[in-house]
């Protein structure tokens, strides 16, 4: 137990590298932030010799803060990606696409062909065979404008 009383920056450095190696072996980003916290504490204890208790508390605080910051960043990024990409959201992926009106059901509602499929459309002053561009989506209806 003498080695525990003489805990120094070298020990924090070893712990940090063990945690970073664990991150490689057991992926999940969680050990990464603990390893980075260990590196930071190793640097701090190299400059300012701290007791094991103080450096352990510092390690815990840095690890928790780094983990929370990462989770917040990742949650915001996931939300942005969900909104911004059209993956598995074919209607949103249709924005800006051009097609040709195949039939009109009423003056402003009809169907238009976009590639190999047809969609329900809505727009102003539409006629059969007009070329249209998708400007927005409302439910399963594409809002188009004539081009």
CA count, 13 A, side-chain hemisphere, 84: 6
Res. 129: pLDDT tops 80:
yes
pLDDT at 20: 94
Mean pLDDT of 90-109: 86
Average pLDDT of the chain to the nearest whole number: 88
- Predicted confidence band at 21 (pLDDT cuts at 50, 70, 90)? very high
Task: Return d(Cα 39, Cα 122) in angstroms, integer.
Answer: 59
Q: For residues 62 and 40, is the Cβ–Cβ distance under 8 A?
A: yes
Q: How far is CA 25 from CA 13, 31, 48, 134, in A?
A: 18, 10, 32, 47
- Predicted confidence band at 34 (pLDDT cuts at 50, 70, 90)? very high
Task: Return d(Cα 142, Cα 121) in angstroms, integer.
Answer: 5
Mean pLDDT of 60-72: 94
Phi and psi at 130, nearest 5°, equal -70, 145
pLDDT at 84: 60
């Amino acid at each position: 137990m003498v080695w525990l009383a003489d805990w120094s920056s070298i020990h924090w450095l070893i712990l940090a590298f063990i945690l970073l190696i664990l991150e490689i072996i057991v992926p999940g980003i969680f050990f990464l932030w603990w390893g980075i916290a260990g590196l930071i504490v190793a640097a701090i204890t190299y400059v300012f010799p701290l007791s094991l208790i103080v450096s352990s508390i510092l390690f815990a605080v840095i690890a928790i803060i780094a983990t929370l910051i990462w989770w917040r960043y990742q949650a915001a990024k996931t939300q942005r990606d969900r909104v911004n990409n059209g993956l598995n959201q074919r209607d949103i992926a249709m924005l800006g696409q051009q097609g040709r009106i195949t039939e009109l059901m009423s003056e402003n509602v009809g169907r238009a062909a976009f590639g190999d499929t047809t969609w329900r459309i809505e727009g102003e002053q539409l006629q059969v065979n007009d070329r249209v561009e998708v400007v927005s989506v409302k439910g399963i209806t594409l809002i188009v404008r004539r081009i």
